[in-house]
Amino acid sequence: MPTDLDPLVAATGLAASGLFSTYVVYEGPDAWSVAGGVVAEVVLKPDAIRCTKDGTVVERPWEGDPLAQVREFLEGLEAADWRAYGWSAFELAYAVAGRPVGNEVLLHLIVPRTEIRLSRGQALVRGVDPKEMALVEKALAGLEAEPEAGHRPVEVDTAVGVAGYRASVAAVVDRIRAGELQKAVVSRIVPVASDIDFPASYLAGRRANTPARSYLLDMGDLQAMGFSPETVVEVQADRTVASQPLAGTRALTGDADEDRRLREQLLTDPKELHEHAISVKVAVDELAGPCKPETVVVQEYMVIKERGSVQHLASRVVGRMPQEASPWDAFAAVFPAVTASGVPKHAAYDAISDCEPRARGLYAGTVMTVAQDGSMDAALALRSVFRRHGETWLQAGAGVVEHSVPEREVEETMEKLRCVAGRLVARPTESGATARAGLEKDLLEKHPKV
């Protein structure tokens, strides 16, 4: 259907409409997608996998490679041209490596009941329920081109936990100097006391950010929205694979002269250059596994990417897998992102587990989409706000190497938190269920046959 709506406004409006109790909004490289409802679902837990298809739920223990279980379920789907959406926890890597895992969920993917692909000038609506598709069309037609502002902003104290974080950085520097590892990305948590309106916060935040990908989701007991600075892996249907490591950070202030000075500082800082170089080396080595080694190249090296309130050193590594390979082979090779874990990864896992108070879950995992044609797009889940079990929080980290200074790493987390913290808005009183009921009543009055 034709639409004059900005795809961001349309996607956010559909998420806020109350039509879907489960949804994922995903901004890809050329369009926004909204995945609503569930036709098929796979939930990977530390000790079991739960699969739902054709209304039947089967839960069974898994052994061996957990990603093989997920791949087997998806390849067995009969829906034509399916596309799955969802997320993976950082600790999924622990399960793949055979390490103990305390998470409730490691991966959660849905094939939606209704899928809306939004690009400039049109919306493509696909689904299995004609009534729901008609509701989507009506919701799109009723959205305002420029939603009213006036939301109540939420204040967040981003200085929470600074002293403990300094101590963690110093402890990791000691481990690096002792030869245990080269780099670890250590994060800190900032609680948010207010009840957040996730769709409104996503709209406000996306307008202020320049991410590689963005996302907004409500799945099970998890809500999240964020502005990913990089992709963990991109797989095309022709088995071309790309990964986009970003490491090395300075603030973006809005003052052109100051930003230029900080950019030059970033491009000449030995600590930042070292951190970035070892991340790119790992990305090359990892892609040489699933890809034909001779096809793996560094396509971009140490260019500057502006991401909201920060600027990063960025590189892009690409390769080509054999035709018989699966996108899950590429995912397994590079996950978790080296820029959110460390070098070597297993030693970094130890440092992260020792320094951080709890499992990361979605933070530093991925929000992703994978399709029947063999394509996959997985965004690194950073610059985000999360809500689970009644708790809302932000989380940010910094790459710690031998020459790291705790005060500078604290400053870096502050710079990253500003991408999200200043754009949060409080939730209104009307519930999604009320909004959906109103849409359905209006639709049925005008179109009783639907």
The domain ranges of the chain are 39-111+152-427
Side-chain half-sphere exposure of 143, counting CA atoms within 13 A: 23
Residue 217: how many CB atoms within 10 A of its CB? 26
Q: Crossing angle, helix 162-177 and helix 345-355, to 10 degrees?
A: 150
Residue 112: how many CB atoms within 10 A of its CB? 26
Cα–Cα distance, 102 to 361 (Å, whole number): 10
- Looking at CATH, the fold of the domain delimited by 39-111+152-427 is given as Anthranilate synthase (3.60.120)
Per-residue pLDDT tens, the chain, 450 aa: give them.
Answer: 999 999 999 999 999 999 999 999 999 998 999 999 999 999 999 999 999 998 899 999 999 999 999 999 999 998 889 999 999 999 999 999 999 999 999 999 999 999 999 998 999 999 999 999 999 999 999 998 887 666 788 999 999 999 999 999 999 999 999 999 999 999 999 999 999 999 999 999 999 999 999 999 999 999 999 999 999 999 999 999 999 998 888 988 889 999 999 999 999 999 899 999 999 999 999 999 999 999 999 999 999 998 888 898 999 999 999 999 999 999 999 999 999 999 999 999 999 999 999 999 999 999 999 999 999 999 999 999 999 999 999 999 999 999 999 999 999 999 999 999 999 999 876 444 454 455 445 444 444 433
Q: Crossing angle, helix 327-334 and helix 66-75, to 10 degrees?
A: 160
> pTM of the entire structure?
0.91
Q: What six digits make up the tokens of 309?
A: 């309130």
Contact 282, 351 (CB under 8 A): no
Could you check whether the bond before residue 344 is cis, i.e. omega within 30 degrees of 0? yes
Cα–Cα distance, 229 to 290 (Å, whole number): 24
Cα–Cα distance, 413 to 418 (Å, whole number): 9
Q: How many helices (H) and strands (E) does the chain have?
A: 12, 22
Select which of 27, 230, 409, 415 is catalytic.
230
Is-catalytic flag, 230?
A: yes
Cα–Cα distance, 273 to 267 (Å, whole number): 7
